[in-house]
Amino acid sequence: MSRSQGPSALKRKRLDSQSGSLTEHESKLYDAIRSKTDMGMSLQDLRRETGLQNNLFTKAIKTLQAKQLIKEVKNFENKTRKHYMATEFEPSKEITGGAWYDNGQFDTEFIKVVKRELVKVIYDQENATLAEISQAIRMKNFLTVNLSDQELKQILDALVLDNEVLKVVSTGMGGYKAGKECYKCCKRREPNLASMASIPCGVCPRINQCTPDGIISPTTCEYFKKWLEF
Amino acid sequence: MLVTITRPGLVRLGLCKLPPFISRVSLTEASNQKKKKKKMTVTNSGIQYAVQIITKHFGNLVAKVCETLLKSGPLNLGALIRSTALTPQQVKNSLLILVQHNCVQPFTQESKAGLKVQYMAVYDNILHRLRFAKFLAVVAQELDDDCKQLLAGLLEHGRLTQQQLMDRANQKSKSNSSQVQNAAQDNFIRLVTARFVERCPAPEPLLEEAPEQEGPKKPRSKSAKMAQVSETIEQRVLAAARPMEAIRFLITTNPETDDPSQKSENNSSSMSVGEKRKFDDLDIGEHGSNDKEVILWRANFEQFIRCLRHKACVENVRARHDDGAAVVLRAVLKATRMQETKVKTDYSVPLKMGAIYNEVIDSAAGRNLTKVSVKASLHLLCGAPPVRGGYEGEGEDEDEDEDEDVPYSIDLKKIIELLQNDEVESIVLKRYGQDACRIFRLLTSQSKPAGQFFETDKISVDALVDKKETPKILYKLWKDDYVHMEKLSLTTAKQSQVMVWKVHKSIVWEHVLDEMYHAAYNLVKRYDHEREENKEVTNTPKEKRVGELEKKANRFLGVRKIMALSLVKLDDALMLFHDF
């Protein structure tokens, strides 16, 4: 969900001229908030940073809000905490939770779709850099929202953790510059491993309580019974 | 001690390095205790499993002695009799069996009362008893079936003289021709040359006082210290008992000393597994007079484990990369096997390109590989370009000829680590699900062996897991000892506690190994139970198994198959974590 940033340059100019009419406290406060760009600042942090007296501080905040120079945004990490940001910025993903949250809900389905598409793209190209993947995704045009490179990278990193995709550094031989990060699909391995995970004890939640002659024991174990049902 | 954490929020405020107002909340008692337990070299489950093996192979009395030794460390005969509450004769007999089968190593230690013989259980060798089939397969593959037969005798009896082995071969072939004798002799030499068979260790080597072990390290807790010392004792005893490299694989070719003396020895013990001889050894062994010439041989477990380790590495490379890389790795390991000084070596012995290539095209699978592809595989395995250190006098320019002189050394430890990771991750995946597995991989992907702390929110972002779910998953993992957690309290901010998590690999790996021992024990136990339950079926002749009985018989067949296979695989994993 990339937020359009096009007209902001124009806007900024107008705002800058407006900020001239602010009092000393107000501009101090405004500068502090603006300096944090799309991250904004919480009330507590603002108070600490500006060091303004309580009543002056509250008044300045109110004025700035009234002049529509700053706005209050919801921080998804802590909804009760007041968070301010200059109006010209859209809250960053650290504040909203990013593309993966839909109205505060983690969007598992959406992630699943994006993951599947990314794997497809990488599989088709064998090796691909982030830029190439991003390009291919745009060309495919399957998403209603645009994912930034940063967001794509987040998904790719998750795929690496999923063991679906491998992050490799080019040696300079395969047409990429040496040291360039590429992604490629993992080789599908035969499941000859997982020797522990394929037996009941390997995944038993009660193995710590299991003793040879105890209430939970291998001879009376229900998991074993199920496993050995043919 | 402060922990550096990178939390977006804190970085933003310039508080990345935690200032003094953040104090570390002390660990809970429980987790402290858990930690201490992990320090033991052999865990309780491991001992339980070893005792189970000995019970199955040699019965309860021997197992009792073995268990006592495993639990309390080296003991002398008197102490052993006292703690087992068995008769001296029973203990002696049990010890004889255990020594004969290389499960106990006696050694002499100097004390106030003079020299005293102590007995020490050799844990690894006990576990190797379930790997005999694997060892035999190695010999069958590397040498041939006749060698395998010869080795089988050695494994069955633990220790034998060369003559006993020859006699056994004769008996097996049911003819006493000199041809058979010669073939057996040749096979024996092949086994020793390939280091699959070695001379037995010294019966009661003198263990000298450890030089600085009991030195100034006072503050360590008592239990930890004990574990530490006993570990070193085991290594020291085994090292003291091991014959010098020069004679370890030396076959005396003098037939005169070989034949008459040993034959007479044999006649008295009448092939009874050589126990009798060993008995003498124990009784009069202290001054070891009568059997100076008798050389006992045994299977060299170290070499078998080395082969299996190499095999595991090769197969892992095949699965991860391709056949070419696997062929190259196998060639390198085969060529350098004899130069490896220990099993758990981190890197393969450096080998130059020329030698590697020769070895590769020597093998059936590598005959068609070109030099270029071999080099590419090597670069893949070593991480290009290979180290040039230590070879002075060579210019910086990359000449083809010079490449020949660059020794390649492959990081075997890394390959083993990847295999171990796979195993642990598969457990986490199956037990806790995909999200947990991703988190676990994130926490273990750090290069530091002790892991790196991650704050809960950072984990949620990096592993792309729902912010609300992340703490729940982490809690489950923590409860089962898969992750380590610390609470940091921020005394100034409102949000007063931050939790940071990490995976301390060595602790978790040991924990996994312990559960594996437990699982192996359970598998065997359950199998015994199943066999007992199906006694009626198995005792009925095949043709009489009809109706319900047939059904039961078929089920039991399936049970036996799956359990045996699972145990073989689980044992592979045990080796992966304990021996490789």
Q: Which residues pair with B116 in a beta bridge?
A: B109
Interface probe, candidates A92, A160, A193, A208, chain B, greatest B C-beta count within 10 A:
A193
Q: Above 90 in pLDDT, residue B560?
A: yes
Q: What is the pLDDT of residue B70?
A: 95
State yes or no: pLDDT of B213 exceeds 80.
no
For range B499-525, the mean pLDDT: 93
The pLDDT of B334-359, averaged and rounded, is 89
Task: Read off the amino acid at residue B521.
Answer: Y
What's the topology of domain A8-96? Arc Repressor Mutant, subunit A (1.10.10)
- Which of B9, B426, B464 minimises the CB distance to A100? B464
Q: Per residue in A24-43, is it b (16+ CB within 10 Å) or e — as a string?
A: ebbbbbbebbbebebbbbbe
CA–CA dist B285, B90 (Å, integer)? 19
Answer yes or no: is pLDDT of B132 > 90. Answer: yes
Whole-number percent of chain B with pLDDT over 90: 48
Mean pLDDT along residues B401-414 = 79
Task: Give the CA distances from residue B392 to residues B348, B388, B403, in Å, rounded to whole numbers and listed in that order.
Answer: 22, 9, 14
How many contacts (CB atoms, under 8 Å) link A and B? Answer: 131
For range B538-557, the mean pLDDT: 87
Q: Which residues sit opposite B500 in a β-bridge?
A: B455, B486
Q: What is the CATH number of domain A102-185?
A: 1.10.10.10
DSSP sequence for chain A? -PPP-TTHHHHHHHHHHHHTTS-HHHHHHHHHHHHTGGG-EEHHHHHHHH---HHHHHHHHHHHHHTTSEEEE--TT-TTS-EEEETTSPPPHHHH--TTEETTEE-HHHHHHHHHHHHHHHHHHSEE-HHHHHHHHHHHT--SSPPPHHHHHHHHHHHHHTTSEEEEE--S-SSSPTT-EEEEEPPPPPTT--TTTTSGGGG-TTGGG--TTSSS-TTT-HHHHHHT--
Q: Which residues of chain B does A94 touch, with a Cβ-Cβ cutoff of 8 Å?
A: 8-9
Residues B240, B192: Cα–Cα separation, whole Å: 21
Burial category of A99 from C-beta neighbours within 10 Å (exposed 0-12, middle 13-18, buried 19 and up)? buried
What kind and span of H or E run contains B182?
Answer: helix B178-193
Percent of chain B with pLDDT over 70: 77
Which of A76, A201, A206, A227 is most worth mutating to test chain B (most B CB atoms within 10 A of its CB)? A201
Say what the pLDDT of residue B495 is: 61
Q: How far is A193 from chain B (nearest CA, A)?
A: 7
Residue B350 backbone phi and psi in degrees, to 5? -55, 135
**What whole-number distance in Å separates Cα of residue B163 and Cα of residue B77?**
31
pLDDT, greater one: A114 or B276: A114
Averaged pLDDT, B115-141: 95
Amino acid B281: pLDDT:
42
Residues 6+ apart with CB under 8 A from B411: B346, B347, B382, B383
Euclidean distance between CA atoms A135 and A53, whole angstroms: 51
CA distances from A58 to A34, B144, B169, B233 (A): 17, 89, 98, 72
- The pLDDT tens digits of the residues spanning B39-65 come to 346 889 999 999 999 999 999 999 999
Least confident of A93-107, B180-194, B489-503: A93-107
Complete edge-to-edge strand list for the sheet that includes strand B160-161: B160-161, B296-299, B197-199
Residues of B in contact with A85 (CB under 8 A): none
Token match 């105890």: residue?
A214
User: What number is the average pLDDT over the span A148-176?
Assistant: 81
Using one digit for the tens of pLDDT, what is the confidence trace for B308-331? Answer: 999 999 999 998 888 999 999 999
Paired sense of beta strands B104-111 and B206-207, if any:
parallel
* pLDDT grade for A103, boundaries at 50, 70 and 90: low
CA B174 to chain centre: 38
Tell me what the mean pLDDT of segment B151-163 comes to.
Answer: 93
CA distance B66 to B104: 8
Q: What is the pLDDT of residue B145?
A: 92
Three-point CA angle B499, B506, B325, nearest 5°: 115
Set of chain B residues whose Cβ sits within 8 Å of the Cβ of A202: 427, 430, 515, 519
pLDDT digits (tens, 9 = 90+) for A8-62: 333 444 444 455 578 888 888 888 888 888 888 888 888 888 888 888 888 888 8
Of B422, B466, B525, Cβ closest to residue A218: B525
Interatomic CA distance for residues A32 and A34, integer angstroms: 6
DSSP symbol at B129: G
Contact between residue A123 and residue A187 where contact means Cβ atoms under 8 Å apart: no
What is the domain partition of chain A in residue ranges?
Answer: 8-96, 102-185, 195-230
Residue carrying the six token digits 């600085």: B212
Q: How far is A219 from chain B (nearest CA, A)?
A: 5
Mean pLDDT is lowest, of B12-16, B264-268, B516-520, B563-567, for B12-16
- C-alpha A218: how far from its chain's center? 44
**Chain B residues within 8 A of A207 when measuring between CB atoms:** 515, 518-519
What is the mean pLDDT of the segment spanning B7-35?
36
Residue B237 has pLDDT above 80, yes or no: yes
A8-96 and A102-185 share one fold: yes
- Looking at residue B385, its pLDDT comes to 52
pLDDT at A173: 61
Residue A119 has pLDDT above 70, yes or no: yes
